[in-house]
A and B are shown apart, each in its own frame.
Chain A
């Protein structure tokens, strides 16, 4: 299926999480810290909050969200 990562179309297998899709797309960075450093999914189980992203207009955890065709995923600031 196709999802849009920072407005770029990415082809990913069905049934995977957005966190997995990031890795699939080549850069697992999910967001930037207050000091501008890259952050990426860490715990993979909804605890560490490092994977929070803007997903279809809402702030959600990439590791807890399954990809859906046409999904808009943004690396938040």
Chain B
């Protein structure tokens, strides 16, 4: 018998889950009301992150899956294998780069250490005198909203229905207006929107600012990130900024990044944007003379340990969670989807699923 599945959320994670379910022969109904989420707001950097072994396992696994999709992705998905340069400002950071290289190598992620001169040759727009960089050539970029739409389109047996989900209970879904739906499998993949449906979930919003320039082709060719980025991204409770710049295929420079907890105010905050840009200009002085055309904000759905929740709801059989992808959900969507499907269909996942078990946060830790 055909498995009937409902996926709530058509962002990159919901789309990847729907495609993976369809691959296994399920009939999938995807529900999304078009309010939008992190997928349309983020940067779409596909990056091996090594903050902890589980994060590296999931990002590395997912990068391989993205590479497998690469040949099929239409041009509008703007996939580019540009690689990442992790920038080291001084010798101390260069030592961090070497540590990172060793960690990545343990998981089979190739990287190359670059000295001052080689870095200046590769990215002449960077300020002179940086100590060097770690180049991770397997990293890439993708335009996530287009990739999400494509994942849904190309899968056989997937229907997208515009609808607002008002409640979920196990295998039952209630839509706004009162209509009730049921399926063998319900996947909750609506990003931070899940908090309104299941308030006990350990999810917090982490606001981010981004800014994009006019087109200036050929100035930057890799995704450029300062080595202090991981520290800013994960270990700070206050507002933090880090240098992170992506060269869009159009020649535009997409400038990040900032992190703020516990606000749902969508407005661009000039003070935060100013800090973020000052940081960016410290690395790319000539950026100050370029024109920005837009700035916006988005919200990452963060769990207490920064890892997503992937698995069946501990108290609601039939309800599967694909949530809490924080600042890495575009990268990790395909790996998360495969892992979740393996658990659903009783296959052994290719990476250890335990670090992402939704039940790992004890009651009361939800704040």
Contacts and interface: CB of A to CB of B under 8 A. Distances in A.
A41 B214 CA distance: 15
A37 to B, nearest CB: 14
Chain B residues touching A, majority SS: strand
Contacts of A34: 215, 250
Contact of B290 (A49, A59, A76): A59
Interface residues of A, number: 7
B250 A59 contact: no
Contacts of A77: 215
Contacts of B153: none
Interface in A29-67: 34, 49, 52, 59-60
B293 interface: yes
B215 A49 contact: no
B298 to A, nearest CB: 20
A34 B293 CA distance: 14
Contacts of B294: 49
B214 A52 contact: yes
Contacts of B23: none
Contacts of B215: 34, 76-77
A6 B253 CA distance: 26
Nearest to A49: B293
A52 B250 contact: no
Interface string B77-118: 000000000000000000000000000000000000000000
Contacts of B176: none
Contacts of A60: 291
A15 B23 CA distance: 64
Nearest to A59: B291
Nearest to A60: B291
Contacts of B293: 49, 52
A49 B290 CA distance: 14
Contacts of A59: 214, 290-291
Given A52-B293, A59-B291, 8 more contacts: A34-B250, A49-B214, A52-B214, A52-B291, A59-B214, A59-B290, A60-B291, A76-B215
Interface of A: 34, 49, 52, 59-60, 76-77
